[in-house]
Every structure is written in structure tokens, then in C-alpha cells.
Amino acid sequence: MATKRADIISAKDLSRSIDRAVALAAKRHEVKAEPSNLLINWEILGRILREFEDINAAFTFATDVTKNVELRGIRAEPACLKIGRDILCGFVERAGLPKEIRF
């Protein structure tokens, strides 16, 4: 019987291995991912929420904040970003909406 060994990844194979792992994970977790990489430059003006775990609830909060901001004449869109255990929540000014740079 053949010996079972774990795979090993060298620096040369790393990028290709990650691409394959991303494709597998997308199927495994039923997530649809664009095939190309994406770099998004943006700025969220807002706060870090430490008590929220539900990003949908955080987005509702961001929407309320944005409505108040728009009353002051700033054209904005609500935005949330979850990084690790924190949720960044606030708004993006429309002039600074995310710009997609495909590479």
C-alpha cells in the first residue's frame, strides 16, 4: 500500500496553490468569486463598532448615519467593512466611491 503524505508548497508554487485553494473554497462554501483579482481604493468616514457582530445591523446603522450626513449637504453612500473582529461603519462620499482596478 502506498504511503500517504501531505502536500508541500514551495515559494515557486505558492501563487498557483492559492488560486486553486480559492477556487475550491468558493465551491466548498458556495461563494461566487470573480476570476480576477481586485484592488479597491476607498475611504470610509465613520467609526469602529465593537459591540456589533451582525454586519447587516451595522449597515442599517450606517444608513441612518448617512441620512443625517446628507442633511448637511454631503452626497454619500452607507458603507461597512468587517476586518477581523471589528466592523468599520460609516459612509463613503459619492465622489470617492470605490474604484475597481483589475489586475
Partner 1 sequence: MLEEKHELSCPSAQPDMEGSRVFGVIGGSVEEPRVAYLKESAVVDVSFYGKLGTLQPTHVFRFAASCEEHRCAHYDGQRCTLIQRIVEKLDPVVDLLPPCLVRPTCRWFAEVGSEACRRCPQVITMIPKGDDKLNQAARMDQ
What is the x/- site pattern for partner 1, positions 69-88, by CB under 8 A? ---------------xx---
For residue 98, the minimal CB distance to partner 1 (Å) is 14
Task: State how beta strands 38-41 and 99-102 pair.
Answer: antiparallel
Residue 97 CB, nearest distance to partner 1 (Å)? 19
In the complex, the smallest distance separating the C-beta of residue 5 from partner 1, rounded to whole angstroms, is 5
Kindly tell me the burial class for residue 15, based on how many C-beta atoms sit within 10 Å of its own C-beta (0-12, 13-18, 19 or more).
exposed
Cβ distance to partner 1 smaller for residue 34 or 51: 34
Measure the CA–CA gap between 91 and 97, rounded to whole angstroms: 10
# chain residues binding partner 1, by CB under 8 A: 32
Residues in CB range of 103: below 8 A, 6 or more apart: 36, 37, 39
19 binds partner 1 (CB under 8 A): yes
